[in-house]
């Protein structure tokens, strides 16, 4: 059942007032980009991973209209729910510049977010489609498109500086639920919080109490990739069960 939340206008005004006090984390940008993308050191010009920077250069040559840069997080600045995916997809976030937007991986995610009241629209097509997240933010463990969707352990570690900063702010501002989509995201969250992997094993549907923030919890789901959904490793019912638990916990 869909949940009733604050009106988008109320949420928007609330966000803008709060973002005015986080300037140390923001670079010069438009009001819109402040609202929707950046509250940690800006990743857009990062080229710390040589292999990924070189790959993006070749993608830009091949697809001049693509975003083909690191992809910033999207959503509210102070959400209750932070969703962590793996990395931008070639023709999705890497093309549109918004996480899980414009390709198959976003279909089930945004449908579910809309059903549970976290999104104003059930489909995420393009960065300018007016979709807004409500009480939610989406980011990735690795901000740059990796060849074959496979970042190396070193790249995951290198990019963890950004996720760690996002998690820190999330925990400090009453964030309640981190949803990790897949094992890599799960491990990146633990790395960002400096927690031991062996104490928090990944399993679809698992819920872990974390010693960070005020009652912060980590929820695990299989990644909503085309492969996982088409092979039924992850069904709509399984994914919705995870969101049902999250909603029950953050809106008791
Ligand atoms: S993956 Fe992360 S650390 Fe590596 S270049 Fe991209 S933004 Fe920078």
Pocket of ligand 1 (CB under 6 A): 43, 46-49, 52-53, 70, 142-144, 155, 158-159
Taking only the tens place, the pLDDT of each residue in 116-129 is 999 999 999 999 99
Taking only the tens place, the pLDDT of each residue in 20-45 is 222 223 333 333 333 334 456 679 99
This prediction has a pTM of 0.85
Atom of ligand 1 nearest to the CA of 46: 8
Q: What is the CATH number of domain 8-250?
A: 3.40.470.10
Whole-angstrom distance, CA of residue 55 vs CA of residue 50:
9
Q: In 3D, which of 227, 226, 220, 218 has the Cα closest to residue 241?
A: 220
Q: Where are the domains of the chain?
A: 8-250
Whole-angstrom distance, CA of residue 101 vs CA of residue 99:
5
Atom of ligand 1 nearest to the CA of 161: 3
SS3 62: helix
Atom of ligand 1 nearest to the CA of 158: 3
Whole-angstrom distance, CA of residue 156 vs CA of residue 68:
18
Mutation pick for ligand 1 pocket among 47, 149, 153 (CB with most ligand atoms within 8 Å): 47
Taking only the tens place, the pLDDT of each residue in 232-243 is 999 999 999 999
Nearby residues of 211 by Cβ (< 8 Å), 6 or more positions away: 195
pLDDT of 52 reads 98
Q: In 3D, which of 145, 187, 140 has the Cα closest to residue 162?
A: 140
* Phi-psi region at 248: left, alpha or beta (left = phi > 0; alpha = psi -120 to 50): alpha
Mean pLDDT across 78-91:
97
Question: What is 3-24 written as a DSSP string?
Answer: -----HHHHHHHHHHHHTT-GG
């Amino acid at each position: 059942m869909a949940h009733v939340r604050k009106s988008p206008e109320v949420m928007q005004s609330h966000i803008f007032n709060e973002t005015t006090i986080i300037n140390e984390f923001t670079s010069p940008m438009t009001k819109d980009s402040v609202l929707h993308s950046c509250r940690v050191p800006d990743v857009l010009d990062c080229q710390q991973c040589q292999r990924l920077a070189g790959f993006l250069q070749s993608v830009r040559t091949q697809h001049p209209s693509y975003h083909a840069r690191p992809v910033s997080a999207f959503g509210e600045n102070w959400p209750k729910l932070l969703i962590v995916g793996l990395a931008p997809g070639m023709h999705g976030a890497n093309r549109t510049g918004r996480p899980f937007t414009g390709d198959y991986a976003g279909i089930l995610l945004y449908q579910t977010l809309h059903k549970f009241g976290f999104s104003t629209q059930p489909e995420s097509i393009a960065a300018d489609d007016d979709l807004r997240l409500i009480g939610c933010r989406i980011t990735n463990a690795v901000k740059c498109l990796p060849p074959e969707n496979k970042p190396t352990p070193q790249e995951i570690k290198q990019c963890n500086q950004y996720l760690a900063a996002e998690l820190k702010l999330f925990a400090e501002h009453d964030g309640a639920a981190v949803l990790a989509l897949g094992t890599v995201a799960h491990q990146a969250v633990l790395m960002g919080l400096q927690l031991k992997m062996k104490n928090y094993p990944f399993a679809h549907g698992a819920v872990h109490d974390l010693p960070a923030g005020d009652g912060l919890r980590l929820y695990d789901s299989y990644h909503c990739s085309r492969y996982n959904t088409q092979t039924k490793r992850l069904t709509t019912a399984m994914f919705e069960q995870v969101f049902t638990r999250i909603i029950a916990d953050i809106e008791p």
